Structure 1
């Protein structure tokens, strides 16, 4: 088995349209993909983000495997950002709430932080020197 790369991070939202609007405003782009249910209601939106065009999928919480949750939880995917403090400040100003403040991790310049979006999902952000090394080593860079 080989994990080849992050394909999609899925977030759940009871108000999917509000979640789509919040993230579109935050990212400055509209989702590139949308799925509607049989009644024509939005069921899924997908954004492509960052250097590798990783996907963030927003899914109506009606489809959550264990049903909607009232509390944040699950694994945290950390997205590399160039300015961690400014990114956290932007997220908080947009209506997210702090989950974990900026926290140094181990040796070097690794720092993580996370917020809970207005829909109960944990969004992790990270300053990660390894990410920058891999980006610099990409062919054509």
Structure 2
């Protein structure tokens, strides 16, 4: 089951420069500020900056679908023709993420809460 898209993550090359821009854009300070990820909470939407995103296959901002069972969702999407870019992995505290690509090259993000 899905809860829809609640998270958008931007791959960035210069985290400090991106953080300065997004601090201004969001109008709030980050709720998470680490060398590997900076995250904002803006009116119920999670916005993230990932300095490792390009290496994971992200070619631009990725919308993340929040799902109950990430492994089952990955299998379902693979059966429907999606290609896995990143298998489900724990990104901290039991939260899992995965990246897939559809036949048109669009990157699809998945998140399963801890």
TM-score by length of 2: 0.50
TM-score by length of 1: 0.41
Between 1 and 2, higher relative CO (CA 8 Å, sep ≥ 6) is seen in 2
Which entry has the higher C-alpha Rg, 1 or 2?
1
Task: From the two aligned structures, give the one with the greater strand fraction.
Answer: 2
